[in-house]
């Protein structure tokens, strides 16, 4: 086994009350992960708002340190609040972000951060004007210790130069999804939605600002009761460096899987490759997430990253907001990834 | 664990001397696997020929029951011989096949079975005229117990309707490859060569006669000393049923891998999916080949197929030659797969 010499896990980026964030928009469950990540890195939860007060009540059961805001206006006017986190319905995320930034606060939004190119242009313009941040929760990289370790391995040259990447992003559909989930005007499409994790990772791990779209496909293979729903999508991209990528996403996780999806990332380098089994290592007899495998000139390795490397994104995001730096994710990268997703979806849509 | 109720492994298709085959063309090591498969299914080895007599001597050390032919002509004229197996240089395989079929014998050739569409047309015409077989050793399905089990699982409906397939075909380059291996005119290109395994599997597992090519790419990422060599290729195809496929192949297997390549096949169905780790189950603590994983509505499963299901292709091929049937592989399928490979390579070549 290669001695890993792991860096220390990130500590607290702020003391109590030093970095207060509020939450507005609870449509997607990702808001729980976003909130947990911020709290664990030292942020302080302020007020919480959603148009559905029942959702607010549920959320405050999980995070009793927060309080319900009387209105979105009240939340946005609170001078203590530095950042607003949101998992509103995707098509409404940009509009909310513009209001957040106009109110002088940074914005941290679930992916997809918007659903149209027109929204993206509005967001870019507002960032330039307000000098606020429009950061995106690309959780499959930013909130994954497996991805944190992969990043470390790539940076250390364990697999040489990255030449190709594959991503599989299967998700469990389950029952009880809200109506908006099945409507294209609210979600944007499967490639723009869950495909965004994959495209963001490709740009990140290949060190690319953008990529050419080689092909994009979508399908509704088995859900005719939801005619606008896309239950499968895939895409190939090529980076300016020549590095190639492919990913597929779907809503076909079977009931027998012990987690919500068998997400995989394969990073191929000139001297080896890495495989992340992010959420489940199927039928391995090894329960748990964040199984990192890699093979290089020295051998075959496996490392269980859970609890070992943390997710430095949240620490860095808080520091970036306080220090006005860009260590967690550059604004350019967040928007480049968003733009790529929208263009990939448009190609699959035949637009 | 689902009770598998495996069928009995194939027995002997012929008694001693009942089905005699000869071997002509030892350029690629696959000829050893082809010969072993035929012998294990009951075939009898006759004479062996290659233009390099040293190769014949080596081959006969592994298979001492054979004998060296004085010439290719002598081998082809032997009335006892029913089938000629060959792993000649790819660009010469068709020419040899035509001579074999003209001599009234069936032909069993390593993939790629030819390197140009003109050769394919010649082969098709010769099959029609001679009524002989031009069968292809797509070893990554036909000579893999993992693939045999996957076939069984798909046919039994364990994963519902097949909607997508991914194949990874990394190979170790190693040293000591002959000059022809690096020259495009002899090999045809990476997609036509090792990509052929992947395309054949896509057609087979989706039950397709042919497929539309959505995209095809190739690269020489890290071997500038061999300018015609392609060390990476990938491709997306769509079947008439709407099923989608993607594969990538490369020559980047790192030295530390415990086998020649971490070949994977992922078959996605509406009710579950199968993953084959065909040659190595990396860092699993479980040595050996043919690890078959599947997940469906009932659970997550793993089965080590080595020694459990056999490779019925060889039994069936011998019976087909004796009985003039098509149970191992139809001639149409063998040629459809070959044509698809040549078209994919041509697209990547920009032709």
Reported as a single tens digit per residue, the pLDDT across B27-48 is 999 999 999 999 999 999 999 9
| Inter-chain CB proximity A164 and B246 less than 8 Å | no
Antiparallel, parallel or unpaired: β B81-86 and B106-110: parallel
What is residue B286's predicted lDDT score, i.e. its pLDDT? Answer: 86
B254 → closest Cβ in A221, A252, A297 = A297
Backbone angles phi, psi at A336, to 5 degrees: -60, -45
Nearest to B99 by CA among B67, B69, B70, B74: B74
Nearest to A272 by CA among A292, A294, A245, A302: A294
CB contacts of B257 in chain A (<8 Å) are 295, 300
pLDDT (average), residues B108-114? 98
In this structure, are residues B160 and B269 in contact, taking their beta carbons and an 8 Å threshold?
yes
- Structure letter (DSSP) for residue A324: T
CB contacts of B251 in chain A (<8 Å) are none
| Inter-chain CB proximity A283 and B268 less than 8 Å | no
Between the CA of residue B216 and those of A52, B163, B243, B247, B351, what are the distances in Å?
Answer: 48, 20, 17, 10, 12
CB contacts of B268 in chain A (<8 Å) are 170, 250, 252
pLDDT (average), residues B259-265? 98
User: Terminus-to-terminus CA distance in chain B, angstroms?
Assistant: 50
**Could you tell me which chain A residue has the CA closest to the CA of B281?**
A300
Structure tokens at B261: 């390549």
Rounded (5°) CA angle B245-B248-B252: 165
| Structural element, H or E, at residue A331 | helix A331-348
Distance from CA of A141 to the nearest CA of B (A): 22
Any residues with CB less than 8 A from the CB of B104 and at least 6 apart, and which? B130, B132
pLDDT (average), residues A213-222? 98
CB contacts of A170 in chain B (<8 Å) are 268, 273
Distance from CA of B236 to the nearest CA of A (A): 9
CB contacts of B298 in chain A (<8 Å) are 255-256
Q: Is the pLDDT of residue B53 over 70?
A: yes
Any residues with CB less than 8 A from the CB of A255 and at least 6 apart, and which? B297, B298
B295 → closest Cβ in A166, A246, A256 = A256
Number of CB atoms found within 10 A of residue A176's CB:
5
**Could you tell me which chain A residue has the CA closest to the CA of B348?**
A214
**Could you tell me which chain B residue has the CA closest to the CA of A162?**
B221
Nearest to B47 by CA among B82, B93, B96: B82
In this structure, are residues A309 and A145 in contact, taking their beta carbons and an 8 Å threshold?
yes
What is residue B173's predicted lDDT score, i.e. its pLDDT? Answer: 96
Structure tokens at A39: 């709290």
List strand residue ranges (DSSP E) for B129-193, in order.
Answer: 134-137, 162-170
CB contacts of B305 in chain A (<8 Å) are none
In this structure, are residues B56 and B50 in contact, taking their beta carbons and an 8 Å threshold?
yes
Mean pLDDT of chain B: 97
Residue recorded with tokens 């290089």: A296
Q: How far apart are CA A61 and CA A64, in angstroms?
A: 6
| Structural element, H or E, at residue A61 | helix A53-62
- Structure letter (DSSP) for residue B178: -
Number of CB atoms found within 10 A of residue A344's CB:
28
Number of CB atoms found within 10 A of residue A112's CB:
27
CB contacts of A300 in chain B (<8 Å) are 256-258, 280, 282-283
- Structure letter (DSSP) for residue B111: S
pLDDT (average), residues B337-349? 98
What is residue B228's predicted lDDT score, i.e. its pLDDT? Answer: 97
| Inter-chain CB proximity B232 and A244 less than 8 Å | yes
A250 → closest Cβ in B168, B217, B268 = B268
Residue B242: pLDDT band by 50, 70, 90 thresholds? very high
Reported as a single tens digit per residue, the pLDDT across B127-136 is 999 999 999 9
CB contacts of A250 in chain B (<8 Å) are 164, 268
pLDDT (average), residues A195-209? 97
Reported as a single tens digit per residue, the pLDDT across A281-303 is 999 988 789 999 999 999 999 99
What is residue A338's predicted lDDT score, i.e. its pLDDT? Answer: 97
In this structure, are residues B23 and B49 in contact, taking their beta carbons and an 8 Å threshold?
yes
pLDDT (average), residues A47-76? 98
Structure tokens at A108: 């941290």
CB contacts of B254 in chain A (<8 Å) are 159, 271-273, 295-297
Q: How far apart are CA B191 and CA B235, in angstroms?
A: 8
Cis preceding linkage at A112, omega within 30: yes
CB contact burial B235-254 (16+ within 10 A = b; e otherwise)? bbbbbeeebbbbbbbbbbbb
Q: What residues form DSSP beta bridges with B246?
A: B166, B236
Structure tokens at A99: 């209001």
* Chain A, chain B: beta-carbon pairs less than 8 Å apart: 148
Q: Is the pLDDT of residue A44 over 70?
A: yes
Which of B170, B256, B303 to probe by mutation at the A interface, max A CB count within 10 Å? B256
pLDDT (average), residues B109-124? 98
CB contacts of B295 in chain A (<8 Å) are 254, 256-257, 262, 282-283
Q: What residues form DSSP beta bridges with B168?
A: B248, B264
| Inter-chain CB proximity A166 and B166 less than 8 Å | yes
Residue B215: pLDDT band by 50, 70, 90 thresholds? very high
Distance from CA of A294 to the nearest CA of B (A): 8
Please report the ipTM that was assigned to this predicted complex.
Answer: 0.96
Interhelix angle for A195-205 vs A145-155, to 10°? 20
- Structure letter (DSSP) for residue B164: E
Q: Of how many residues is chain B composed?
A: 351
Reported as a single tens digit per residue, the pLDDT across B65-77 is 999 999 999 999 9
Q: Is the pLDDT of residue B2 over 80?
A: no
Reported as a single tens digit per residue, the pLDDT across B270-314 is 999 999 999 999 999 887 899 999 999 999 999 999 999 999 999
Reported as a single tens digit per residue, the pLDDT across A313-349 is 999 999 999 999 999 999 999 999 999 999 999 999 9
Q: Of how many residues is chain A composed?
A: 351
Residue recorded with tokens 């079947």: B239
Residue A266: strand, helix, or coil = strand
Distance from CA of B256 to the nearest CA of A (A): 4
In this structure, are residues A105 and A132 in contact, taking their beta carbons and an 8 Å threshold?
yes
Structure tokens at A343: 């263009």
Distance from CA of A179 to the nearest CA of B (A): 22
Radius of gyration of chain A from Cα atoms?
20
Q: Is the pLDDT of residue B105 over 80?
A: yes
Which of A282, A298, A303, A347 to probe by mutation at the B interface, max B CB count within 10 Å? A282
Residue A2: pLDDT band by 50, 70, 90 thresholds? low
Structure tokens at B336: 């459809």
């Amino acid at each position: 086994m290669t001695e890993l010499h792991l860096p220390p896990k990130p500590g607290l980026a702020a003391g109590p009350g030093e970095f207060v964030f509020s939450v507005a928009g609870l449509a997607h469950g990702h808001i729980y992960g976003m909130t947990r990540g911020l709290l664990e890195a030292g942020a302080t939860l302020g007020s919480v708002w959603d148009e559905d007060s029942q959702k607010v009540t549920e959320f405050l059961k999980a995070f009793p340190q927060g309080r319900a805001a009387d209105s979105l206006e009240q939340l946005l006017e609170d001078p203590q609040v530095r950042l607003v986190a949101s998992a509103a319905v995707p098509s409404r995320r940009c509009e909310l972000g513009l209001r957040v930034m106009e109110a002088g606060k940074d914005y941290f939004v679930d992916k997809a951060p918007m659903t149209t190119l027109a929204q993206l242009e509005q967001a870019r313009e507002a960032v330039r004007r307000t000098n606020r941040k429009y950061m995106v929760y690309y959780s499959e990289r930013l909130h994954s210790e497996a991805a944190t370790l992969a990043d470390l391995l790539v940076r250390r040259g364990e697999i040489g130069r990255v030449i190709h990447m594959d991503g599989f992003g299967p998700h469990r559909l389950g029952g009880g999804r809200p109506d908006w989930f099945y409507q294209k005007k609210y979600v944007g499409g499967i490639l723009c939605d869950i495909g965004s994790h994959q495209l963001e990772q490709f740009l990140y791990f290949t060190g690319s600002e953008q990529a050419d779209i080689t092909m994009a496909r979508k399908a509704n293979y088995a859900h005719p009761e939801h005619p606008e729903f896309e239950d499968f999508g895939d895409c190939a991209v090529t980076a300016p460096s020549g590095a190639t990528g492919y990913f597929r996403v779907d809503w076909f996780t079977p009931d027998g899987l012990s987690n919500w999806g068998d997400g995989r990332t394969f990073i191929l380098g000139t001297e080896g490759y890495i495989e992340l089994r992010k959420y489940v290592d199927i039928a391995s007899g090894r329960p748990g997430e964040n199984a990192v495998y890699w093979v290089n000139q020295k051998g075959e390795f496996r490392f269980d990253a859970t609890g070992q490397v943390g997710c430095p994104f949240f620490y860095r995001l808080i520091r970036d907001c306080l220090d006005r730096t860009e260590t967690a994710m550059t604004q350019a990268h967040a928007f480049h990834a968003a733009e790529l997703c929208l263009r990939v979806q448009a190609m699959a849509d035949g637009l």
